[in-house]
């Protein structure tokens, strides 16, 4: 007897079962079928973006960046799948729109005889219903408002002239549709090459325009539109995003940048500098690196960001990859002239307005840091208080798994390294500064580390690129809110800016020390501590970020901004819009914890004052 052949299940039957599971169990659909065909739906949504044909063009990236999409090679199969999804989703959502997105055959407005870059073509077509016309109009308005590297869009009607330009909507029956075709302006003329930056810009603009069109479609269909069109975006991380994030975290976790550039002999260096009459640069010693820089760079750039299907997350991870590259380059150039310039690339120069503000603070609070050094709280007392504060946070959130270590290889003070609070054995802290300093380190740096760890991607725990300025700004604000911002402390923050500017302008260690000590009146030990921080590693431009960051935070509060988004993890001011979008898409959780100091009776009037508008000098209470 001949064996009976088992007939493979048809793609439509499998997709029907996937849709049942989506509606019944909330299980996302990611169905691969046929030769390179894919249906991705991360939750019930009133639209489907479809791309038919090549997976090497920008239209493929635009479509696959969405939370609901279909990639298929054959237009007839695309129509069958789209009709099936539309029928089921329309019953569930009340309305449904299919967006057929592709590229025109050529960039026909770009010719050799034009004296400047001409407009580029976007062609649109839709059905005749009011809702479809509303979607077309919104897409046209959104797309027309965006420039693509000096070329502005010109929206026309899409009228197919060849069979290869057939519209999916021709076979959709009563399903609402919007057809989008755009000129391939990201391609280098007469070659197979592309302009990657221009391609990414086109993708981001088209994705946003498509979501705006869906929002308008829903409103015209008499349905409740989303609060923001961004909430129609992806609400789940695909495996490729998670893998890339973990791979970057693997590189980031091999080193602690600040520890690697912080001298381990701060006290002997001070005694040497003092013994030499403050005229000779002391020898500074550093921890040996426990890894090979070149090997970590190879590992870093082996992380592929090509198939993440989410332009925003691709950008955030790419920026972090570049930041890690710069940090590794700096560690490889430690104690060489290249270190300073690489640091300038990482942290920026000191802008004139910031330097002017810093000098004004030093002049207004002149002499406040000149008092004789008195015996304060030592490392054991500070560490005990830190453990008590950490225990309070852990009682509110059990995953607040922070530890405190007393170290003999750090300059006086505290430093956070991932989930560790490091306390220098040489710490000598005025009692009135204890709560402020712990609020700075634990209430901001450690809190955002653990809140970030709860977001699902390590990048929010490790910090988005450039996060340090906002982190330090929030931490300085914390010192003010608990009543611990003294004139001496603010002068030190301002002195760091002046020292950074001097170092970047080529001043020597001892010359910068004299500027702070003689010209601005810092006592010799305070001036040394500032200069040591600024010249560590060979010249680190980081310390200007404290004053710059608190100015940014105060400006944010003055303009009515909320602090809440900044507690979700370690983010920068430049990423505030990205965080709002991710939050609207449901990809971020509310902060597990907010700083305890925010709810204190002491903080409320100060926060109210900050929201009304103050300058950093106003944070000092007399």
Per-residue model confidence as pLDDT tens digits over 267-310? 999 999 999 999 999 999 999 999 999 999 999 999 999 899 99
- The closest alpha carbon to 353, from 548, 505, 154, 81, belongs to 548
- Residues of the chain above pLDDT 90, percent: 82
Q: Does the pLDDT of residue 189 top 90, yes or no?
A: no
**Element housing 529 (H / E):** helix 524-535
CA distance 406 to 424: 6
The mean pLDDT value of the chain amounts to 92
**Cβ-based neighbours of 346, under 8 Å, separated by 6 or more:** 323, 326, 327, 330, 541, 542
Paired tokens of 437: 């300093």
Q: How confident is the model at residue 366 (pLDDT cuts 50, 70, 90)?
A: low
**Element housing 50 (H / E):** strand 47-52
CA distance 159 to 612: 56
CA distance 610 to 563: 12
Q: What is the mean pLDDT of residues 59-63?
A: 96
- The closest alpha carbon to 58, from 168, 187, 192, belongs to 187
CA distance 402 to 54: 50
C-beta of residue 468 within 8 angstroms of C-beta of residue 545: yes
Is the pTM higher than 0.75? The answer reads yes
**Cβ-based neighbours of 103, under 8 Å, separated by 6 or more:** 57, 58, 59, 181, 182, 183, 184
Q: How confident is the model at residue 166 (pLDDT cuts 50, 70, 90)?
A: low
Domain spanning 11-235 has what CATH number? 3.40.630
Q: How confident is the model at residue 116 (pLDDT cuts 50, 70, 90)?
A: low
Q: What is the mean pLDDT of residues 493-511?
A: 98
Q: Does the pLDDT of residue 318 top 70, yes or no?
A: yes
Quick one: three-class SS letters along 552-596? HHHHHHHCCCCCHHHHCCCCCHHHHHHHHHHHHCCCCCCCCCCCH
CA distance 208 to 200: 12
Q: What is the mean pLDDT of residues 412-434?
A: 95
- Residues of the chain above pLDDT 70, percent: 94
C-beta of residue 13 within 8 angstroms of C-beta of residue 5: no
**Confidence (pLDDT) at 5:** 42
- The closest alpha carbon to 608, from 548, 573, 563, belongs to 563
Quick one: three-class SS letters along 351-411? CHHHHHHHHHHHHHCCCCCCCCCCCCECHHHHHHHHHHHHHHHHHHCCCCCCEEEEECCCC
pLDDT in tens, 370-404: 444 568 999 999 999 999 999 999 999 999 999 99
**Element housing 494 (H / E):** helix 487-504
Q: Does the pLDDT of residue 34 top 50, yes or no?
A: yes
Q: How confident is the model at residue 190 (pLDDT cuts 50, 70, 90)?
A: confident
Q: Does the pLDDT of residue 8 top 60, yes or no?
A: no
Q: What are phi and psi of 124, to 5 degrees?
A: -130, 150
**Confidence (pLDDT) at 171:** 83
CA distance 594 to 12: 48
∠359-442-541 over CA atoms, to 5°?
35
pLDDT in tens, 514-546: 999 999 999 999 999 999 999 999 999 999 999
**Confidence (pLDDT) at 423:** 98
Which sequence spans correspond to the domains of the chain? Answer: 11-235, 256-290+334-618
Lowest mean pLDDT among 109-113, 179-183, 323-327: 109-113
**Confidence (pLDDT) at 161:** 62
Q: Does the pLDDT of residue 571 top 80, yes or no?
A: yes
Beta strands in 132-239 (DSSP E): 153-157, 176-182
**Confidence (pLDDT) at 271:** 97
pLDDT in tens, 473-489: 999 999 999 999 999 99
- Long-range contacts (CB closer than 8 Å, 24 or more residues apart) made by 263-271: 263/411, 263/532, 263/536, 264/409, 264/410, 266/410, 266/411, 266/412, 266/426, 266/532, 267/411, 267/426, 269/532, 270/525, 270/528, 270/532
Q: Does the pLDDT of residue 4 top 70, yes or no?
A: no
Determine whether 408 is exposed, middle or buried from the number of CB atoms within 10 Å of its CB (0-12, 13-18, 19+). exposed
**Cβ-based neighbours of 208, under 8 Å, separated by 6 or more:** 142, 229
Determine whether 594 is exposed, middle or buried from the number of CB atoms within 10 Å of its CB (0-12, 13-18, 19+). middle
Q: Does the pLDDT of residue 111 top 70, yes or no?
A: no
**Confidence (pLDDT) at 449:** 98
**Confidence (pLDDT) at 83:** 96
Paired tokens of 157: 């009607």
Q: What is the mean pLDDT of residues 551-562?
A: 96
pLDDT in tens, 218-274: 999 999 989 899 999 999 899 999 999 999 999 999 999 999 999 999 999 999 999
**Confidence (pLDDT) at 372:** 45
Q: Does the pLDDT of residue 118 top 80, yes or no?
A: no
Q: Does the pLDDT of residue 84 top 80, yes or no?
A: yes
- The closest alpha carbon to 330, from 318, 343, 319, 321, belongs to 343
**Confidence (pLDDT) at 178:** 96
Lowest mean pLDDT among 4-13, 83-92, 113-122, 593-602: 4-13
**Confidence (pLDDT) at 113:** 59
**Confidence (pLDDT) at 55:** 84
Q: What is the mean pLDDT of residues 574-586?
A: 92
- The closest alpha carbon to 497, from 324, 357, 332, belongs to 357
Half-sphere exposure of 142 (CA within 13 A, CB side): 23
CA distance 336 to 347: 18
């Amino acid at each position: 007897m001949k064996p009976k052949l088992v007939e493979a299940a048809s793609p439509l039957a499998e997709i029907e079962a996937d849709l049942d599971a989506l509606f019944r169990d909330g299980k996302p659909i990611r169905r691969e079928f046929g030769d390179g065909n894919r249906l991705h739906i991360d939750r019930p949504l009133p639209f489907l973006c479809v791309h038919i044909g090549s997976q090497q063009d920008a239209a493929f990236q635009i479509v696959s960046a969405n939370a609901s999409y279909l990639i298929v090679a054959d237009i007839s199969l695309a129509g069958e799948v789209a009709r099936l999804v539309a029928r089921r989703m329309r019953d569930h959502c009340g309305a449904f729109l299919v967006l057929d997105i592709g590229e025109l055959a050529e960039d026909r407005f770009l010719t050799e005889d034009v004296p400047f870059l001409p407009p580029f073509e976007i062609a649109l077509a839709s059905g005749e219903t009011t809702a479809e016309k509303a979607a077309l109009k919104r897409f046209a308005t959104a797309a027309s408002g965006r420039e693509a590297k000096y070329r502005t869009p010109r929206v026309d009607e899409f009228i197919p002239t060849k069979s290869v330009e057939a519209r999916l909507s021709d076979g959709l029956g009563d399903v609402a549709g919007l057809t989008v075709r755009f000129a391939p302006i990201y391609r280098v003329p007469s070659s197979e090459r592309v302009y990657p930056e221009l391609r990414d810009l086109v993708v981001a603009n088209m994705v946003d325009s498509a979501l705006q069109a869906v929002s308008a479609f829903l409103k015209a269909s008499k349905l409740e539109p989303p609060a923001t069109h961004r909430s129609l975006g992806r609400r789940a991380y695909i495996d490729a995003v998670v893998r890339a994030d973990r791979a970057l975290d693997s590189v980031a976790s091999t080193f602690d940048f600040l520890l690697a550039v912080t001298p381990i002999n701060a006290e002997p260096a001070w005694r040497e500098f003092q013994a030499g009459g403050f005229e000779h640069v002391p020898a500074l010693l550093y921890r040996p690196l426990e890894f090979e820089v070149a090997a970590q760079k190879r590992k870093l750039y082996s992380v592929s960001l090509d198939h993440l299907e989410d332009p925003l997350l691709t950008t955030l991870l790419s920026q972090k990859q570049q930041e890690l590259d710069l940090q590794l380059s700096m560690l490889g150039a430690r104690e060489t002239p290249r270190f300073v310039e690489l640091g300038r690339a990482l942290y920026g120069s000191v802008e004139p307005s910031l330097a002017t503000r810093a000098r004004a603070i030093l002049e207004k609070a002149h002499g406040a840091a000149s008092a004789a050094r008195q015996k304060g709280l030592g490392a054991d007392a500070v560490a005990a208080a830190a453990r008590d504060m950490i225990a309070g946070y852990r009682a509110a959130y059990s995953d607040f798994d922070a530890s405190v270590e007393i170290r003999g290889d750090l300059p006086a003070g505290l430093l956070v390294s991932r989930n560790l609070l490091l306390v220098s054995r040489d710490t000598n802290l005025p009692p009135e500064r204890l709560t402020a300093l712990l609020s700075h380190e634990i209430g901001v740096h450690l809190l955002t580390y653990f809140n970030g760890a709860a977001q699902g991607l390590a990048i929010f725990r490790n910090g988005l690129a450039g996060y340090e300025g906002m982190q330090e700004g929030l931490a300085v604000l914390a010192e003010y809110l608990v009543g611990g911002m003294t004139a001496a402390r603010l002068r030190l923050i301002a002195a760091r800016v002046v020292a950074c500017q001097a170092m970047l302008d080529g001043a020597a260690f001892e010359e910068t020390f004299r500027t702070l000590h003689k010209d601005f009146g810092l006592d010799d030990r305070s001036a040394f501590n500032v200069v040591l921080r600024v010249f560590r590693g060979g010249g680190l431009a980081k310390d200007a970020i404290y004053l710059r960051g608190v100015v940014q935070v105060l400006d944010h509060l003055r303009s009515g901004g909320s602090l809440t988004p900044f507690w979700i993890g370690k983010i920068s001011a430049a990423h505030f819009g990205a965080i709002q979008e991710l939050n609207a898409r449901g990809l971020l959780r509310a902060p597990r914890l907010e700083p305890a100091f925010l709810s204190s009776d002491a903080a409320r009037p100060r926060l109210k004052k900050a929201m009304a508008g103050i300058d950093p000098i106003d944070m000092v209470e007399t």
